[in-house]
Amino acid sequence: MTNDPPAIPSTSGGPLAGLTVLDLTRMLAGPYCTLMLADLGARVIKVEMPEVGDDARHIGPFFDDGDGRPTSAYFFSVNRNKESIALDLKSDRDRQILEALLARSDILVENFTPGALERLGYGWPVLHERYPRLIVGSISGFGQTGPYRTLPAYDMVVQAMGGILSLTGEEGGAPTRGGVSIGDLAAGLFAAIGLQAALVERQRTGLGRHVDVSMLDAQVSLLENALARCQVEGQVPGPIGSRHPSVTPFGVFAARDGSLVLAAGNDSLFIKLCRAIGIADASDEPRFKSNASRCRHHGELKELIELRLSTRTVGDWLAHFRERGIPSGPLNDVGSVLRDPHVQARGMLMNWPLADGSTLATAACPIQFGDGPLTRAEPAPHLDQHRADLLRELGLG
């Protein structure tokens, strides 16, 4: 027998159906984590500040949601399949509601500055004692420990501090931020992985864990071979444009009417590529015979390849390469991605109807299972939209 309060009922199917996630996050890293959990079937209850809500609600561009309220496309894109309740965590009444939710939740995710939850009376030791099965995920700029732990951080800060910024851009050019917020997104993904690992462990132990994910740690993790090259080669890596530091040819190449991508990742593919573009003898040249020598002479090889590519269009070459099994692709802009037939066939775009009769496409969950893609699709909630329903469920209405 147990005196635990009844679980909040599931509102969906999916692998994580039956799990309830209390989401105290805002902006991008935390909401992206809870978006993954929601798409996989967890019930995600988003706790926001009264009147103001998640900071992302105030970042444009905006569209008309049909109810006279401007809606942030930024917020909308990462908060689908969630419920919203606005709580003032300094109010006794709202703390009572939060604690009723905590007692019925499997996971709490937060991205406050370390120490903030403790000051509110909800630090990990307190939560673990009161709700021993609760798993807590903390996403922060620099983690719960270390000399930087209380410093504020945004994506740009951790891209710079984690070395990613120094590797991105054209050779000899200025440091360049990644085109997406990889500092936030990587932390959100690692947090989703850590939380699900803690769920598996809870099956064995019956106890929750505190999952601590730092945006800076996530950036360092993504440095992959740059760390090794820095030490083995004795040189600090820098930006080199689109080419690969250790594999050649591997990058963007100009054809007659635009650019395309080629990736000959081993010697046999390089030989196949040379034959396909009419320079079969080049694969036997000492400069190009091995990958190591190709990397040393990457500029000369690029000139040779582009001289041949200049004779035909991008479309012609891509069809030619695909027939021969040579890894290649178009250099799509975002508009091209929206129109890509394979992206559409894979169900990677969710089209939401708007008040003016148009639609807004957002990226779907990329995790698919053998019996088809996940289809759960509830739009991002209005601020405090689900308050009345949640209070009734909790018996606090």
- Tell me the two tokens of residue 284: 């036997």
Catalytic residue among 58, 128, 210, 244: 244
Task: Walk across the sheet containing 250-254 and list its strands.
Answer: 250-254, 259-263, 328-330
| Annotation marks residue 244 as catalytic | yes
Strands 62-64, 70-72: pairing is: antiparallel
Nearest C-alpha neighbor of 47 from the set 393, 396, 383: 383
What tokens were used for 204? 């064995």
C-beta of residue 249 within 8 angstroms of C-beta of residue 303: no
Q: Scan for tokens 């004692």, then name that residue.
A: 129
Q: Is 107:20 a contact under the CB 8 Å cutoff?
A: yes
Q: How far, in Å, CA of 394 to CA of 248, rounded? A: 60
Q: Indicate the burial class of 316 (C-beta count within 10 angstroms; 0-12, 13-18, 19 or more).
A: middle
Measured on CA atoms in the order 98, 102, 107, 109, is the torsion positive or negative? positive
Residue 268 CA to residue 276 CA, distance in Å, equals 12
Tell me which residues are annotated as active site. 244
